[in-house]
Each structure stands twice: as structure tokens, then as C-alpha cells.
Amino acid sequence: MTARLLRQPFGRPLRRVDLPHQVLAKKYALPVFASDALSSVAYATEEILKVLALAGVAYFSDSLWIAGIITLMLVVLLLSYRQTIFAYPNGGGAYIVARDNLGEGIAQVAGCALLIDYVLTVSVSIASGVANLASGVHQFLPSVPDWNAPARTGISLFVLFLMWYVNKRGVKESGRAFAVPTYFFLASTFLMLGVGFFKYTFGGLHSVDPSTVGDLVKADRSLGLFLLLRAFASGSTAVTGVEAISNGITAFKEPKSRNAATTMAWMCGLLGVMFLGITKLALATHAQASTSETVISQLGRTVFSAGSPFYVCVIFSTAAVLVMAANTSFADFPRLAALHAGDGFLPRWLTDRDNRLVYGVGITVLSLCSGLLIAVFHADVDLLIPLYAIGVFLSFTISQTGMVVRWRKVAKLQPGEEQPSYSPEGVLVTTLRHDPRWWLKLGINGFGAVMTAVVTVVFGFAKFTEGAWIVVLLVPTLVFVFFRIHYHYRSVHEQLVPDEALLSSYLTTPARKLMLLAINDFNLHTLPALRDLLQSGGPYTTRQAVHVDVNEHAAAELERRWREERLEERGVPLVILPSAFGGGDVVGDLVSYVRGILAADADVRVEVIIPEWSASGIWWRWLFARGLHHLTGTRLKLAFLSQSRVTVTNHRYVLADRPRARSAA
Amino acid sequence: MTARLLRQPFGRPLRRVDLPHQVLAKKYALPVFASDALSSVAYATEEILKVLALAGVAYFSDSLWIAGIITLMLVVLLLSYRQTIFAYPNGGGAYIVARDNLGEGIAQVAGCALLIDYVLTVSVSIASGVANLASGVHQFLPSVPDWNAPARTGISLFVLFLMWYVNKRGVKESGRAFAVPTYFFLASTFLMLGVGFFKYTFGGLHSVDPSTVGDLVKADRSLGLFLLLRAFASGSTAVTGVEAISNGITAFKEPKSRNAATTMAWMCGLLGVMFLGITKLALATHAQASTSETVISQLGRTVFSAGSPFYVCVIFSTAAVLVMAANTSFADFPRLAALHAGDGFLPRWLTDRDNRLVYGVGITVLSLCSGLLIAVFHADVDLLIPLYAIGVFLSFTISQTGMVVRWRKVAKLQPGEEQPSYSPEGVLVTTLRHDPRWWLKLGINGFGAVMTAVVTVVFGFAKFTEGAWIVVLLVPTLVFVFFRIHYHYRSVHEQLVPDEALLSSYLTTPARKLMLLAINDFNLHTLPALRDLLQSGGPYTTRQAVHVDVNEHAAAELERRWREERLEERGVPLVILPSAFGGGDVVGDLVSYVRGILAADADVRVEVIIPEWSASGIWWRWLFARGLHHLTGTRLKLAFLSQSRVTVTNHRYVLADRPRARSAA
């Protein structure tokens, strides 16, 4: 069992046919695609309050209209993305929409922004989940000391490790696995809101006692426009994740686009109600902005009571849905990275599925980046939030702008006219059809584009010094790297793909070759190579054995053997090269010899045959054996690594595992 | 100039004919071989006083008879080594004498002890030289703060670095270069002794004022036998280096042995007189045991005066001769290491001369080991001394014991009978001749052996806890490693050297071979390999091209090309291997295919032909290019590294240095 775990830590290898092709009914699609968006309510209200708290508790009431504006923005996004869902029934992520309408460059920016945001989704969701757990534990076990930053960081990294492992094994994206925690979260949250507003209306709703929530956020700054914009920017993290459905339309049951649109409407409805509800309830209960207890925990223990099982449900379901939200990035990030890689903007191996049929490298890269963020920012949601959402809003803007371009193309079509559009791989991406109401749709997407562009700028401006600068610098840097990678692939491709004339000349014109055996003495590792050379040959092949004279005795012995076995008569003459130095530079001597041949004859190709013995066995024994020899073979191979017109043939003789000499000594 | 220094930091490469074959007249041989021994007087007396100081200044007078005993020991060593010099005219170091008489095992112990001591000679001599310089600087510039441990360590390491560099360049062991500092040292020391004893006899010799010498060594332990033994052990470092002449007899003019013996007598005479003289003068001037001023400095400024140019001469000549002493190890250590390596007890490459014709690796190893000691012991002579000399005395003992065995062999010879003895390489080492006075010579060497054995044990015992334990543990550990290395070489040799029957069968029986081209598509890097395969062949060769099907489109295209070019008809069929997983394990698929072939046919050898392209250019560009590809070729080569009956042929296509794509983008 342990042995199997060590050998196959991620489970038995799977075959390609095991790749699931699953479609989801709406009730399962909702939890799969919505957990990211819905879970945002766990921190969005709190982050608004924390900014307002810098001016004073008196300004908390402003949170309500800020939340209102964000909810209006959510409606605009819903309307905009409905149109994308119908226009791109095979998946309409920002990358694809941008590539189809705005070109490769903008598509790279959109994809890059999304990749960054997926990393942040993991970090923020895990950190927030752990913060909620910490609040819950503190209520039930007040004697246990508060989880400090190192403890939270450690627990967050452990959760991240578990998620990495589970995803490397490969999760069947079964709707059921997502359904339980998501619906559990919806149920407990709506129960809390219901009971809360009932008590608020009919009396009995207590207030949160500031002395019980630990460290409060305090400052005495004046509430200027800048602070309001910061509060708005923090709150707008609530809408992160709403784009998820547009990426995954193909996972829906037919009619795919209609079902996806309906699910998105449901998602946005639930999200808006919960966000506004939680914000209002936070005001009603005088919830505090605290760095040690989350707002959700304060609401839960005020609406119910600290010891109530309902409170436990609220805390655990929130933590669970946040982990689910983080997990959606483990599907989205590797898939988007593979899309980039397939287009040649990221390393090709990101498109490989490993033997558990997942994009294992992408999963590991995501985990490492998220882990780095968690470690650097001590799993502190407040520190991570300024980096978050700017990427999402940038991709919203690009996606809507792409749609605007698309409607302008539609406007030019005649009734009945159709115009399909394909991806670089030849997959149908979208079909342009005449639409008399193109101006309305263009208007909706245009309004969405302008609105999200404004939010992006506001966000970058208001949060710049708090961390948004990292993302603002990272996006262009990464896009530059993406294009360097792309240039490289193009350059290699251009240099390697032959034209047909060259191709046929290659396969019909013979080429001259010199086979050159580097030989030290007559040994069991040189003999097979020599025998092979004796058997080789052909009309365009010359053969030679070369020996560097570092020891006169050895050279003479080799010449004697050569005569004795009549090897020259069999087609392989022996060349003795004088050694330049005290025997330390056999490799240099051979390399200059080969270079000389190549320089003298511009058409010949040299095949350098290197006989080598190799020790088997465990690594330190191998290393020990390597350390004791001149490694002429290895050094020769390295020397010819970038030498044109040289082929290196490596004959190996494998020694016994265990040296016999102990007994011989 | 700078460019040349970067390219050839150690100077232009030399040819083998440049290797100097120089013989030395006695007046030049003395400084070359004696600087190590003579320089010992710079610290020997001081180290005796420092041990006695632990019991009190009153016991300093004991230093005189301790020095007397050590000088007697020096006489015994002189008589013993005279005999070795005549018996081994081609060089009679402890390693060679032990190998000739006591076998390989004991020879390894002797050599190992000497190697350790060479390292310590460098560390101790440099540290002592820097300590003397520090004393001198303090006298002339009292305002400059005393050099503390980090400063001394830094300066010592810098001196060591310079010595490493000079020796890597290669020093002509010209007697003149050594003669100046050594004779300068002799002159200034004897001047100091002469003036000192003149003043002592006729009045005018002052005493050293304890308040002027800085930190004094003090304790109030009783002077027991143990402390006396420790003082004796410390003082016996005076005789280190006397064995040097016996190693270098071949460097003397003819008659070599006689000249060497005469030089050795002079050396021992000078050494004994200086050692006794300095010890007596130290008593007469009431020199102090101090950690901040050396005894030599105290004597110099008391006999002359602190500002006198004679004092400056004493200090600088002492420092200079100590550096010369350290430099002798830079010749001896690499030469002895090469001797071990030639016999197969150290890595073979230690026998290589680099392009400046020096044993560069040995020089570097010595520098690193000495540097480590200097760093660990903060260039403090007092801390290094307990490790020093035990190795030398062990090698003395072994060498004398070897001579005793030799005389017993001589005793068995008849008059006129001669019996030569050769090294493993066939070089004449010694000639045994009848000698009627063998019993006297055996007696002298026997007495020497017993005496040095006693000193070795006393040393290890008295200094064990102070650091000698390191050497006591290190010698057997290193000898164990030496033998492991030897076993390895023997095992490899046994496994690789064929018997004649096997040899002729190899060159007369043909062998079957399967040539297997791993091909991905038709590209400029695969085509040369394919063309070469089409031209290869022969009666015992089968050919195949193998493609792993990771992309149906590519496989179909390749098959179409294969038919079009009629390649199967030309002898190379195409095999399409199904891919096990999602394309991530092409290497695994190919390896299993080859393993299957090898398992099915126990006689066939498989030549795997791997076409690869490679990027040239600077390393980070190379690395970038490597990082973006699957490196199937490299991984295949690694996978077959220890696979019997597989030959790997690597066709490389070298891309242009600078990607063209920037312009194409």
C-alpha cells in the first residue's frame, strides 16, 4: 500500500478513453460554475466596511449604496454576458472573444489578466475560508489562543497542498460533489438572512458588542472621494467569477446557450440578493470591521447565538464554498494556460495531460504561485484584495469590447447572410448572422465595456499603492514574455520546416559521411563499437579510428593490435593524434581534429562514435564512479552539442551492479 | 589585456616539451628543500613557551632541555634519513619506501598522513607569517589597532589565494627565487643570535617588558608530566620538513645521493643551532608567551631596537621564509597525490597536468583544504599546531620501519649479489646490495622508528582533545576511501579487459543490429537522420522508423509522406506506436517498445537514432529555448543511459544564433 503510494502517488495511470465527457443539468451546473461568484459575498461586505472604518463607524451606512451600485453593475454584466453566451455557444471566455474580434495581442492581455486572477482566486478564497474557520473556532473554544498570522499561513498552505494533491489525482467534475457544499451554503446563508430580517422587523435582533470581536480596524481619516472609491473597489470583488459560465457553455445540456443563460440569471440573482442582504444585516446588527473575526461570523452569532448549531452551519458552509471556489481555478487556470500554450504563447508542455489525464503542470504552477502569494501576504485577505479583481475587470472590458466589434461586423451583414469564424486550430468559434437589433445589443455591450473599463481604472488608481501596482506591472511584463515565447516558436518553425524541393533533394541526393571511432584501447566497451564500425559502410561512407597519444606505450600496443587483426585492410585505418598537452585535453585534441575535417570539406558530415562504459546501481554509487574517471565520453558529447554537421553515436557498455572487487582485494 | 586575462587567466598554454628538467647545485638545493624545515624555528620555541606558561613563567627554563631533546631527535632523524637517501637514489619519500617494503596498505597510511601534513604546512606557515607581520606592524604603527582574528584570517586567505594563483600559473622551481628569502632569513636570524649572545656575554642585553607585548598566556596549572609532554609535542613541530630532501634526490646534481646527504646535514645543523639559539635567547631576554606578539618579534626588538632596520629584516625575512615553506607544499602535495592516483588510490585525473603543465587540480584541492583550516581556526597558529606534525611523525615511523625491513632483506644477500626492486609502473626504485654493516644501519633506522613511534603516540595522546583527534580520525577514514577507490578501479578493469578468445570472437563474428529512427515529422532536423538511415544498412542490419501517435493528424500526414517517397520500398518501414496517455509520455512509449525488442531477441543490439535541433547562442537564450520544448530527445538519451545493448545516435541540427522572428512578427 505504502509502496504503491510511493510509486503512483496520484493513483493508477488512466487511458485516454477515460477522459470524461459529461454534460450537466442546470441544477448541477449552478454549483459547479457559481461557487466562485457566490462565495465572494463572504468577504465583499467586510472589505467595504474595513475601508469605511478608516473614516469612522459612523460612515458604515454608506456601505449600503455602494453595495447597491455594485449590484446594478452585476445586472449590466448579466445582460452583457447573456449576449456572449448566445454568440459563442462553444465557449466564450474573454480570451476567445478577444482573439476572434480584437486580435492576438489583446487576447494575450485578456488571458494574462485572467490567469493572474485565477491565482488570486485561490489565494483569497483559501485565506478567507481559513479566516472564517478561525472565527468559528474562537467562538467555541475561547481558551484556544487566536490563530496568528503564521498559524493561518500554515493552515492555508496545508489546504492548498491538499487541493493540489486532489487535483493532480484528477477530480471528476461531478456536479454532485459541488452541489452539496454550494446548496448547503445557500441554505444556511438564506436561513441566516431570513431569521435576521425577521428579528429586525419584529424585534429581537441584537447588536454586535465591539468588545467581543477582537482587534477593530480604526483610523481617523476624513471620508473623501478617494476613500469611497477604495471602498467601492473593495466591494466590487463581489462580482468576480460571474464570467465562469461563459467559459463553460459546452458543459450544459442542450439547448446549451439557453440553459447557460438561465443558470447565469439565477446565479446573479442569488448573488445580488445575498450581497445586499448581508450588507443590510451587517448595518442592522452594527457588525464591526475587525481583523480577528469575520463579518459572517459576527452576523451568524448575532442572528442565532454563538453556541447554536445554525452558527456552526453558517461558518462551515462558508468555509466549504470558499474551498469550492478556489477549486474552480484548478480547472480554469490549467485549461486557459493550455489554450495559450496551444497558440504558442506559453510553453508547449502546458498542453500535455499527464497519466491522470489532468494538466498536471498547470495545476502545479497554479499551486506554487498561489502558495507564494499566501506566504508573502501571510494569508491575510485584506492584503490580497487590492491585487484581486483588477484582472477580472480588465478581462470584462476586453470581452465586452470584443462583443462591440462583433456587433459592428453583424451590422454589415444582409438578412439571411451567415459568416462563420474559426479558431487557428480550425474549430468553429462563432457564426455571425444578420440581426436587426444589433444596435441594441451593441449598446448593451458598449455600456458594459465602458462601465467595466471605468471600474478597472478606478480600481488600479484607488488601490495602486496598496498592491494593485504589482498587477499593473505584471500584466505587460507577462504579455511581453508571452510574445517572446511566440516569436521563439515561430522562429524555430520557420527554420525547421522545409520547402518541398529541399525535401525531395534530401531524400534523393546521397550524402557523404565520415564515421570516426574515438578509441582508447581494446576493451569490452570499445569492441562492440569497433565491430559495429567494421560492419557499417557503404558507397558514401569513409571510416576511421582515432586515438589520442597520451601514453606512448598504449598507442604502440593499439597499433600492434590493429596490424594483428588487419583492421586497416577491413576498411578502418587507425589515426594516432599527437596530444597537445600533458594528457589533460584529449577532448580538445579530438574536437580540433573534427573541426579540421569539417573545415576542409564543406559537404561531409562526421559521425563521432563514442564508446563508453556506465555503472549501474544507486545514485551515490553512480556518482562515485563518475567522479573517479575522466568522463572523456561525456565531455566529448557536450563539446559537440552545438556543432553543425556532427552526429554523436554513443555505444554504452553497462557494468555489473555491484563491483566484484571486494572479494578480489 | 583584460580580455586575455579572462580567457587565459593563468597565461598562455605550454607544450609538453616546456616541462623543466632542472638539477640544482647544493647552494640552491638548500633553500628549495630546507625552507620548510628552517622556517619551523619561527614558531617552535614560542609554542613550547605557550604550554609552559600555563604553569607559570617560572617554568620557562624547562624549555631549554625540551629543545635539547628535540635537537637530539633531529640528529637521529638525520642519521636515519641519510641511509634512506643512499638506498633510494630515485626518491625515497615515505610512500615509496613503505610501498617497496611494507606493502600497499601501509604506503597508503604513510601517504595519507603526509597529504594531511602538507595541508597543515600551508595553513600553519601562512598563519605564522601573518602573525609575525602583525607584530612588526604593531611596533612601527602602534596607533593602528591590533589585527584581530577576522583581519588575520582575511589576510591569510588572501595570501593563500595569491599562492594558488602563482602555482596554477606554474612556478619554475628555480633555486634562485628560493635562495634570496632563505639566505636572507638565515643571515638576519644568525645576526640576531650573534648580537644577542654578544650582548648576553658582555652585558647590554635588555629584558622584554611584559607590559609591552600585549595579551599574555596565563593560567595556574601545576607542571605535571602531561604538560611537559604537551610542551615537547608542540616543540617537535621544529623538525617538520626534514624529510623533504629524501623526496627530491633526483633534483640534485650528480653524485645525487652524496650531495643530498651533505645538504641534509647542513640543513639539520642550521636548524638545530637556530632552534637552540632562539630558545636560549628567549630565556635570556625573558621573552613572553603572548597571543599578540611573536617571540621572534620580541627577540628582534630587544636585541636590536624596535625602530631598527635590523628588526625589520628579522620580521620580513621570517614572514618571507614562512611563505616559501608554504609554497613547498604546493609542489609536494600535488606530486604525492598524483603518485596515489597513478597507483589507483585517488581519482585518476589527479595525474593530469593542465595546460600550464602543473597538477592544477591538486593545487586547487590543497588550497581549498588549507583555506578551510585557516577559516575554521581563524588563522590562529596555537589552534592549528595540535593538528600539525602528527602526520609527519607517523610517516617518519613508517619510513624508518620500511628501512628496517629493507636491511633485513639485505642481510640475506650474499656478497656481490644484487637485487633490484621496481615500482608497479616498472621504474627502478632501489637496488638491494650485500652490506656487511647491515646490522648497524638496521640499528639506526630501528632506533629512529621506535623513537618517532613514541613521539607519534605522545603527540596523539597529549594533544588529542586539542585537535589531534581530527587527524587521528581522518587518517583511517581517508585510507578507507582510498581503498574503496582502488577497489572500484580494479573492478572496472576486471570487467572491461577481455580475454583473447573473446576479443577475436568480437572482431570476427558479425552482430545483428536494429536501427530505429524516432521520427516526429518531416523537418530539417529529422531529414538528415532519415537520409543517413536510408544510406545505412548491410547484411546484418534491419531498419525502422518509429512514430508515437499523439496526434492523429500528424501520424496520417507522416504515413502519406512515407508512401509518397516510397521509403518502405527503400528499406525503412514506418511503425506507428499507439500512445498510452494524453501525449505526455512519448519517451515512455518508445522505451517500452525498445525494451520489448530487446526482450524478444537476446542477440540483437538496437541503435536508437534521435534527431534533435539545438539552439546556439548565449546560455540564457539556450536555456529559454530548452524550457519551451518537450526535450524528448534529451529525455530519451537519459532513459537509455544505463540500458544494455542500446546505442544512442544523436543527429543534431543547429539553428541560427538569433531568432529571425522579431522581424517576422
Is A483's pLDDT higher than 90?
A: yes
For A217, which DSSP code?
P
How large is the average pLDDT for residues A497-515? 83
Q: For chain A, what percentages of helix, strand and coil (3-state, to nearest 5) are there? A: 65, 10, 25
| Number of Cβ atoms within 10 Å of the Cβ of B559 | 13
Q: Do A531 and B525 touch (CB under 8 A)?
A: no
| Res B660: pLDDT | 45
Q: Write out chain B residues lying below 8 Å of A642, CB-based.
A: 614-616, 652, 654
What is the distance between the terminal CA atoms of chain B, rounded to a whole angstrom? 41
For residue A27, what pLDDT is reported? 85
- Amino acid identity at B364: T
Q: Which of A349, A487, A653 sits opposite B662 (nearest CB)?
A: A487
At A312-349, the pLDDT tens digits run: 999 999 999 999 999 889 988 998 999 899 889 999 88
Query: Grid cell 649572545 — which residue?
Result: B197
CB contacts < 8 Å between A and B, how many? 285
- Give tens-digit pLDDT for B283-309: 999 999 888 889 999 999 999 987 789
CB burial of residue B477 (10 Å; 0-12, 13-18, 19+): exposed
Q: Which residues in A lie closer than 8 A to residue B585 (C-beta atoms)? A: 355
Q: How far is B128 from chain A (nearest CA, A)?
A: 35
C-alpha triplet B616, A351, A476: angle, nearest 5°:
70
CB of B635 within 8 Å of any CB in chain A?
Answer: no
Tell me: the pLDDT tens digits for A341-386?
988 999 988 888 877 778 889 999 999 999 999 999 999 998 998 8
The whole-number average pLDDT for the span B120-131 is 94
- CB within 8 Å: A531 and B567: no
Residue B120, pLDDT above cutoff 90: yes
Average pLDDT over residues B34-57: 91
Pairing of strands B418-422, B428-433: antiparallel
Nearest beta carbon to residue B646 from set A510, A643, A652: A652
Within 13 Å of residue A565, how many CA atoms lie on the same side as its CB?
24
Share of chain B above pLDDT 90, in %: 49
Mean pLDDT on B491-518? 85
Using the predicted structure, report yes or no on whether residue B439 has a pLDDT greater than 50: yes
Min CA distance, B487 vs chain A (Å)?
5
Question: What are the tens digits of pLDDT across the range A247-290?
Answer: 888 888 888 899 999 999 999 999 999 999 999 999 999 999 88
Rounded mean pLDDT of B478-494? 91
Report yes or no: B659 at the A interface, CB cutoff 8 Å.
Answer: yes
Residue A373 forms contact with B (CB below 8 Å): no
Question: Which whole number is the average pLDDT over A473-478?
Answer: 94
Distance CA A319, CA A39 (A): 9
Instruction: Output the pLDDT for position A508.
Output: 83
Cell of B96: 615509496
Whether the bond into A510 is cis, omega within 30 of 0: no
* Record: contact A642-B624, CB cut-off 8 A: no
pLDDT surpasses 50 at B591: yes
The pLDDT of residue A657 is 56
Contacts of B425 in chain A (CB under 8 A): none
Please, which residues have CB within 8 angstroms of residue B101's CB and are 6 or more apart in sequence?
A: B401, B402, B403, B405, B406, B409
Q: Which residues are CB-contacts of A485 (< 8 A; sequence separation ≥ 6)?
A: A344, A345, A346, A347, B628
Q: Which of A302-306, B15-19, B181-185: highest mean pLDDT? A: B181-185
Cα separation, A437 vs A201, whole angstroms: 45
How many degrees, rounded to 5, is the angle at CA B148 between CA B63 and CA B303?
A: 40
Report the C-alpha gap between A592 and A594 in whole angstroms.
Answer: 5
Which triple of cell numbers denotes residue B595? 525494451
Residues 341-370 of A with CB under 8 A from B: 347-349, 351-355, 357, 360
Residues of chain B neighbouring A20 (CB-CB closer than 8 A): none
Whether the upstream peptide bond of residue A20 has omega within 30° of 0, thus cis, is no
In contact, A181 and A326? CB cutoff 8 Å? no
Nearest to B348 by CA among A520, A546, A664: A520
Give dist(CA B445, CA B439) in Å, integer.
10
Rounded to the nearest angstrom, the minimum Cα separation between A468 and chain B is 29
Q: What is the pLDDT of residue B661?
A: 40
Rounded CA-CA distance A185/A26 in Å is 18
Check: CB of residue B175 under 8 Å from CB of residue B25: yes
pLDDT of residue B662: 40
Question: Model ipTM?
Answer: 0.77
B650 chain-A contacts, CB cut-off 8 A: 637, 647-650
Pick from B352, B499, B622, B632 the residue to mutate for testing the A interface (most A CBs within 10 Å).
Answer: B352
CA distance B89 to chain A (A): 25
Q: Which of A485, A502, A527 sits opposite B498 (nearest CB)?
A: A527
Whether residue A664 has pLDDT greater than 50: no
Band (A171; pLDDT cuts 50, 70, 90)? low
Please tell me the predicted confidence (pLDDT) of residue A117.
92
Q: Which residues of B touch A490 (CB under 8 A)?
A: 661, 664-665
CB pair distance less than 8 Å for A581 and B353 = yes
Chain A closest CA to B401's CA: distance in Å? 24
> Nearest-CA distance from B197 to chain A in Å?
54
The Cα-based distances of B372 to A338, B265, B334, B375 in angstroms read: 50, 35, 18, 5
A488 close to B (CB below 8 A) = yes
Q: What is the pLDDT of residue A376?
A: 93
At B19 the pLDDT is: 64
Q: Which pLDDT band, with edges at 50, 70 and 90, does B212 fall under? A: confident
Three-state DSSP at B54 gives: coil
Q: Is B425 on the interface with A (CB under 8 A)?
A: no
- Cβ A394 vs Cβ A109: under 8 Å: yes
Q: Do B522 and A532 touch (CB under 8 A)?
A: no
Mean pLDDT of chain B: 87
* Structure confidence at residue B454 (pLDDT): 93
Three cell numbers written together for B105 = 596498505
Q: Does B618 touch chain A (CB under 8 A)?
A: no
Residue A616: Cβ-neighbour burial (10 angstroms; 0-12, 13-18, 19+): middle
Cell numbers representing residue A396 in the block: 470584462
Residue A380 touches chain B, beta carbons under 8 Å: no
Element (H, E) at B8: none
pLDDT of residue B617: 67
- Residue B623 C-alpha, separation from nearest chain A C-alpha, in angstroms: 12
> Is A584 an interface residue toward B (CB < 8 Å)?
yes
Identify which of A107, A66, A96, A128 has the alpha carbon closest to the alpha carbon of residue A423. A96
Nearest alpha carbon to residue B361 among B371, B348, B370, B372: B348
Residue A584 phi, psi (nearest 5): -85, -5
Burial annotation A237-271 (CB, 10 A radius, 16+ → b, else e): bbbbbbbbbbbbbebbeeebbebbbbbbeebbebb
CB atoms within 10 A of CB A565: 19
Better pLDDT: B270 or A389: B270
Please determine, for residue B664, whether its predicted confidence score (pLDDT) is greater than 60: no
The residue-averaged pLDDT of B525-536 equals: 89
A584 to B353: CB separation less than 8 angstroms, yes or no = yes
Place of cell 629524501: B246
* C-alpha to C-alpha distance for A53 and A282, rounded to whole angstroms: 13
Q: Tell me the average pLDDT across A558-582.
A: 87
| Segment B313-340 mean pLDDT | 91
Which pLDDT value is given to residue B83?
Answer: 93
Kindly state the average pLDDT of the residues B83-109: 91
Rounded to a whole number, what is the distance in Å from the CA of A464 to chain B's nearest CA? 32
- Scanning B345-437, the segments in alpha helix (DSSP H) are 360-376, 381-384, 390-411
pLDDT given at position B175: 67
SS (H, E, C) A414-430: CCCCEEEEECCCCCEEE
Q: What is the mean pLDDT of residues A636-648?
A: 87
Instruction: Report the DSSP beta bridge partners of residue B543.
Output: B515
The three cell numbers of residue B566 are: 516510397
